[in-house]
Structure 1
Amino acid sequence: MTTPPLRRGLRTLGTLLITLSAISPASSVFIIAPGVLTGAGTGAFYSFAAAAVVGVFMAFVYAELASAFPLAGGEYAIVTRTLGRLPGFAVLGLMIITQVLIVAVIALGVGTYLGVLWPGLPGPSVAAATCVLAAVVGVFDIKLNAWVTGVFLAIEILALVVVGALGLVHPARPVTDLLAHPVAAGGGPATVGAIAIATSVAMFAYNGYGSAVYFGEETQDAPRGIARAILMALAITVVAELVPVTAVLVGAPDLGQLFGAENMLSAFISARGGGTLDTVLSLAVALAIMNAVLAIVLISSRLVFSSGRDRAWPGAVSRALAAVHPRFGTPWVATAGTGVVAALLCYVDPQLLLVVTSTSIVAVYAALCLGAIIGRRTGSTAHARYRMPWFPVAPVLALAVLVFVVYQNLLDPAVGRPSLLVTAAIVVLAAVYYGVVLRRRGGWQLAEDVVAEEPPERAGDPGATGARTDQKP
C-alpha cells in the first residue's frame, strides 16, 4: 500500500509548542494534581519530584530512540524496530486505546471549568463537542495547528504563574514542612507507599514529552529536532507543574479544607485571590483543556494513521486510516475518526477511564527502556543523531523505579491493581489478535520506513514536503 507522505511543515519550535500543549501543564495541575494530593497529601511534593527524576531518565530514552526512529507511529514503531513485531504490536494495542481514552479524560475537564461561568452545563456533552471541534481543526495544516496551540499555551502558562505567585508570595507554612513532615490528606504522616502510588499519577501528569516523536515525519531535520523538543518539553513541564503544586501546598491557609474541597485548585484560588480571580483562571484552564484536546487529537491521529499505513487492520480499514488530505497533507480520516470515538467515550464513567489509563504508560515506558538497551546491543539505534549520556544508567534506573511503582500499584485494590489487570488484558488481547489475524495472513508486514529527514538537495528548504523512503531490510 503506497501512502503519500505527511507534509513536513514544522520546525523544532512548532513541534515543541504542540507537545507542550498535549502535556498541558495547566490541565495537569488543575485536573490531575488533585489526585496526587488526595493520595499523598503534602507528600505530593515528593511524588512530583520523584516523577521528575523518572522523567529525566525517560526523556533521555525517548530522545535517543526518537532520534533513531522519528516516525508517526511513536512508541509502537520504536518498539517494533528494537524488540520485535509482537512486542511492538502489544505496545500499539496499549497506545491506541490509551491515547483515545486520554482525549476523553482531558475533554471532560472542559465542562468542569466552564461550569464556573455557566453552572449546569452538561459536562459529557460539552466534552464530546470539544473532541469533535478539535478533530475538525486538526484536519487543517499542521503549521496552522502549531500556531493555534502556541497561543493557547501562552495563556495557560500565565495562569500557572498566577497560581504560583498566590502561594509563594505569602506562604502559610515553610517549604521545609513539606520535606521533613509530609502529612496525608486525612491527617497523620504520609507513608512511603502512598507517596509511591501517587508518583505513578504524577508521572502521568508530566507524561507527553515523548509525544514529539509523532511529528517526526512533519518536522524538518527530525533526528535532531525531535530529540531537542523532547528534552526541552520535559524541562519546561517540570517547572510549570512542580512550582504551582508546591505553591498550593505551602500557600493554602488550611490544608484540611484544601484536601476536603471538591475542586482543590478552585478552593485555593478563591481563598487567596477571591472569586473573580477564580472565575478568570477557570476560563483560562478551560481554554488550556481545549488546547490539550486539540494537541492530543493531533498526536493520536498520527498513531492511528501509522497503524493503518502499517496494515495492522483489515485492508479497507487500513487504507482509510492511512488516507492523507490532498491539500493539507494531514491524516484526515484518522483525525476525524479519533475525534468521533473520543466524543463517544466522553459518556463513559470517568472512573473506568482512569482505571484503563493509569498504569498502561508504565508498561510502555518499560518497553522503551528495554528497547534502548537492546537497540544499543544490536546496533539498531546506532544511526541515532542523539545519544543519551551515561548509558545505560537512564534506562536501568527507570526500569527499577517502574518495578517499584508496579509493586505499589499491586497493593492498591481501588485503582492500581484493577488498572494493572486491565493493562495485562489489553496486552493479551493484542497478542491474540497478532497471532490469530496477522500471523495467519503472513505476518505483520510493516510499510516502508519513512526517513524523517529532508533529502540532501531539499535540506533547509522551509517549503519541503517530500520524504525519502527506504525499504526496511
Structure 2
Amino acid sequence: MPDPSSSPAPSPSDQRSTPALRRGLKVLGTLLITLSAISPASSVFIIAPGVVAQAGSGAFWSFALAAVVGVFMAFVYAELASAYPLSGGEYAIVGRTLGKLPGFVTLGLLMVTQLLIIAVIALGVGTYLEVLIPGLPGPLVAAVTTAGATVLAIFDVKLNAWITGVFLVIELIALAVVSALGLFDPARPLGELLTNPVAATDGVVGPAAIGLISAAAAVAIFSYNGYGSAVYFGEETSNAHRGIARAILWALAITVASELIPVTAVLMGAPSLEDLFAAENMMSYFVTAQAGSTVNTIISLAVALAILNAVLAIILITSRMVFSTGRDAAWPGNISRNLAAIHPRTGTPWIATLVTGAFATLLCFVDKDFLLVVTATSIVAVYAALCLAVLNGRRNRSTAHAAYRMPLFPVAPVLALVALAYVVWQNAMDPVIGRPSLIITAGIAVVSALYYLLVLRRRGAWELRGPEDES
C-alpha cells in the first residue's frame, strides 16, 4: 500500500523544470550561518536576563536542563535532516513522514513566526546602539537593518556564509570577554550556584525554588533554539545527507558552550547578586561593574552587530522556506512560480528573499509585545511535530535511508515530548504572554489546515518537491 504522505512522482519534464539551488556550501559555511541565526550573544544579553530574573542564580540549572532537552531535539533534527536535507525545512520533513495535512499546518506556523521573529530580533539593534546615539527610533532602525540585510541575502550564499562568519567571530569574542570578567574574578564559587541557588522574590533574595528553576528552563530552551536551521541549506551543502546532521550537532554543542559559560560567569562574578537581580539591564550592570563603561559600550556595539548578523542569517533561512513553498505550488500559479525563481548569477532564491525581507521590514513597525505573543509558543508545536515525525518515520520506514541514526531511540523524542508538554503547561499558566500565544498558535494551525483542506487538496496542486538528486 503506498504511503499517503508521498507525492506523485513528477514527470521527466516536471523534473527538468524543478528549480534547483546551487550547491556551493561546505559544512563549515552551513554551520556559520546556523550559529549566526541562533546568535548566542543575543540570547545571553536579551533572553538570559529573563531567566535570571525568574530563577536567580538557579539560572545555571535552568540552562543546564535546557541543554539536555536541546540534545534530545538535536538528535531528532539530525536524523530527520539526514533523511530529508531540504530547503523547506521542518514542513517538508513533516509532510513526508506524517502526511501532507500536518506538513502544511507546520508550514503555516513557520510562515507566520519566521517572518515575525525577524522583526522581533531587528528591534533589538536600536536598543544596543543607543549607547552611542541616545534616542534612536527603534522601529526605523530595525526596518533599515532588515532592508539592508535583505539586499545582502540576495548575493551568493558562500559570500553570506563568510560575512556571517566574520560577524560571528566578533560576537564570540564579546562573549569570551564577558566570561573572562566573571571566571577570572569570581565573587562566589561555582559550588554555591550548584548547591545553594538563590532568587529574588518581591525584592527579597532567598533560596530559589525548584519550581522556579524548572519554569525558567522552559525559557532557556528557546535561547538555544535554531540549531536545526542547518537543514534549510541542505540543497546548497555538499554531501548534505551526512553533513547537515554534523552541522546540527556541532551547532548545538557550540551554542550551549557559548551561552552557558557566560551566564555562569555572570552569576559567579557579579559583585552583588541583589544588585544584579534588581538591575534594569543585568548584563550592562555586570560588565560596567567589572570593567567600566568603555568596555560596556564596546560590548553593546558587538551585541548590536550580533543582532544584525542574526537578522541576515534568519532572512537567508526564511527565504529558503518561502522558495520551497513556491516550488511545491502552495500558492496560486504566478505567485508560486515567482517565489521559486532562482537568480541566474547568484544561484539564490532572489524573489523569495525580497518578499521575505519586505514583509519583515513592514513588521518592524508592529507593536513588539504583539509580535512576542504571536511567536512565543509556535516552536513548541513544531518541535512536537518533529518528535512525532521521527517516531513515525521509523515506523513506516519513510526515514529508512537516513545517513544518521540517533542513539538510544526512542528515548530522545519521547523525553522531548514530555519536556514540551511541561512547557505548554507553563505557558498555559501565564495569562500575559503564554496563554494568549497558545491560543494564537492554535488559531494559525486551524487556518492552515482549512486552507489545505479547502483549497490545496481540492485542486491537487501541492506537491512536495525537492532537488533532482533528492533520495
Q: Residues of 1 paired with 2:49 and 2:371: CA distance? A: 17
2:96 is matched with 81
2:295 is matched with 277
Tell me, yes or no, if structure 1 residue 257 matches structure 2 residue 292: no
Report deviation, 1:469.
5.5
Identify the range of structure 1 (62-71 vs 333-342) with the bigger mean alpha-carbon deviation.
Answer: 333-342
Q: Give the letter for the 2:88 counterpart.
A: G
1:323 is matched with 341
Where do 5+ consecutive residues of structure 2 fail to align? 1-13
User: Does structure 2 conserve the Cα–Cα contact (< 8 Å) formed by 1:196 and 1:405?
Assistant: no
Pick one of 53, 56, 75 that aligns with 1:41.
56
**What aligned pairs does 1:71-470 form with structure 2 within 5 A after superposition?**
71-186=86-201, 187-442=205-460, 445-450=462-467, 467-468=468-469
User: Does structure 1 conserve the Cα–Cα contact (< 8 Å) formed by 2:95 and 2:464?
Assistant: no
Q: Give the letter for the 1:134 counterpart.
A: A
User: Does structure 2 conserve the Cα–Cα contact (< 8 Å) formed by 1:167 and 1:248?
Assistant: yes
Q: Residues of 2 paired with 1:366 and 1:406: CA distance? A: 11
2:7 is matched with none
User: Does structure 2 conserve the Cα–Cα contact (< 8 Å) formed by 1:3 and 1:323?
Assistant: no
Query: Cα distance 1:193–1:406, how it changes in 2: closer, same or farther (>3 A)?
Result: farther
* Secondary structure class of the residue paired with 1:468: coil
* Secondary structure class of the residue paired with 1:116: coil
Q: Residues of 2 paired with 1:427 and 1:37: CA distance? A: 32
Summarize deviations over 1:178-201 as a string: whole Å, max 9, x none.
222322333333333333332222
Summarize deviations over 1:27-46 as a string: whole Å, max 9, x none.
11111111212222222212
Q: Residues of 1 paired with 2:396 and 2:375: CA distance? A: 32
Report deviation, 1:447.
4.5
2:11 is matched with none
Q: Give the letter for the 2:378 counterpart.
A: S
Q: Residues of 1 paired with 2:354 and 2:46: CA distance? A: 26
Identify the range of structure 1 (198-207 vs 216-225) with the bigger mean alpha-carbon deviation.
Answer: 198-207
Aligned residues: percent identity? 69
Report deviation, 1:132.
0.5
Q: Residues of 1 paired with 2:274 and 2:104: CA distance? A: 46
Summarize deviations over 1:35-80 as a string: whole Å, max 9, x none.
2122222222121111100000111110000000000000000000
User: Does structure 2 conserve the Cα–Cα contact (< 8 Å) formed by 1:196 and 1:408?
Assistant: no
**Count of aligned residue pairs for this structure pair:** 453
Q: Residues of 1 paired with 2:378 and 2:186: CA distance? A: 37
Report the RMSD for the aligned CA atoms in angstroms.
1.4
Q: Give the letter for the 1:210 counterpart.
A: G
Q: Give the letter for the 2:168 counterpart.
A: L
Q: Give the letter for the 2:216 counterpart.
A: A
Summarize deviations over 1:356-405 as a string: whole Å, max 9, x none.
11211111111101100100010000001111111111111111111112
Q: Residues of 2 paired with 1:447 and 1:377: CA distance? A: 21
Tell me, yes or no, if structure 1 residue 68 matches structure 2 residue 83: yes
Report deviation, 1:228.
0.5
Q: Residues of 1 paired with 2:200 and 2:180: CA distance? A: 23
User: Does structure 2 conserve the Cα–Cα contact (< 8 Å) formed by 1:310 and 1:445?
Assistant: yes
User: Does structure 1 conserve the Cα–Cα contact (< 8 Å) formed by 2:320 and 2:349?
Assistant: yes
Summarize deviations over 1:81-112 as a string: whole Å, max 9, x none.
00001101111011111111111111111101
User: Does structure 1 conserve the Cα–Cα contact (< 8 Å) formed by 2:92 and 2:464?
Assistant: no
Q: Give the letter for the 1:448 counterpart.
A: R
* Secondary structure class of the residue paired with 1:188: strand
User: Does structure 1 conserve the Cα–Cα contact (< 8 Å) formed by 2:124 and 2:307?
Assistant: yes
User: Does structure 1 conserve the Cα–Cα contact (< 8 Å) formed by 2:21 and 2:235?
Assistant: yes
* Secondary structure class of the residue paired with 2:155: coil
Where do 5+ consecutive residues of structure 1 fail to align? 451-466
Q: Give the letter for the 2:238 counterpart.
A: Q
Q: Residues of 2 paired with 1:158 and 1:190: CA distance? A: 31
Q: Residues of 2 paired with 1:198 and 1:357: CA distance? A: 18
1:453 is matched with none
Query: Cα distance 1:190–1:347, how it changes in 2: closer, same or farther (>3 A)?
Result: farther
Moved over 6 A (4+): none
Identify the range of structure 1 (199-208 vs 64-73) with the bigger mean alpha-carbon deviation.
Answer: 199-208
Tell me, yes or no, if structure 1 residue 54 matches structure 2 residue 69: yes
Q: Residues of 2 paired with 1:375 and 1:469: CA distance? A: 17
TM (norm. structure 2) is: 0.94
Report deviation, 1:349.
1.7
Q: Residues of 2 paired with 1:298 and 1:449: CA distance? A: 18
